[in-house]
Amino acid sequence: MSRYTYSELDAATLRSLVTFRDLGVVSSRWAALTQPVTDRERVRIEALREVLVDRPLTLLNEATIWSRAIYPMLMLAESEHVQAFAQVPLEASFARFDLTGTLDGTLATSLSGGVEAPFLVVVEAKRGLEAVNPQWQLYGEMLAAMVANAGDARPSVAVMHGCYTVSDTWTFVRAEGRALESDRPSLTIESSREYSERAEAEQIVGLLKGIVRSAQG
């Protein structure tokens, strides 16, 4: 049984484990998912945006950007039983391999103060010498979240949302998993365009709210 951490996943490794299909940017998917924001949310969004506008984000480290730009936006999508979490351990076992590691962030149901079922996983891209393509790490985390949520009852089709952030730019991903219990699961990916938080914070929150709504049925 092979064991992989999310951070070591790359295109070749993930393609050796699952049947992978990338549909690219599917604009209609995200337009249909977006929810309107309230006046109260709009005030909070504008306050966050004003903090970012004059900041040299390219010079700030990942932890600072996470605390100032990313996590506060996730919190705006919280509801009664949904909470934003950071640094969440997650592992999942498949027929031929295990995936393990820690999620940078997630939106998840929280009925007892802890993570019950993640339905949005977030990867903050590393920069500098540690920089790697964040997509493959995100895909692995989404695949693991599907299995973790399903438990012993593996569905024929499982859906998970995720996003990766580069500075204050967000890219959303929808993953559809099939045959999760087989020797070779399949993963179909649909992506959004890039959204800049400084210019499009309201659209980002609308998408986060839509993901929460879709996950709650």
Q: Which domain holds residue 49?
A: 2-215
For residue 49, what pLDDT band results from cuts at 50, 70 and 90? confident
What does the DSSP 8-state code read for residue 59?
G
Mean pLDDT of 72-101: 93
Write out the DSSP string of 197-213.
HHHHHHHHHHHHHHHHH
Strands 97-109 and 82-93: antiparallel
Q: What are the pLDDT digits (tens) for 104-162?
A: 999 998 777 678 788 899 999 876 545 568 999 999 999 999 998 887 677 789 999 99
The Cβ-side half-sphere exposure at 139, using a 13 Å CA radius, reads: 27
3-class SS of residue 132: coil
Say what the pTM is.
0.92
Predicted local distance difference test score (pLDDT) of residue 129: 46
Q: Give the chain's domain count.
A: 1
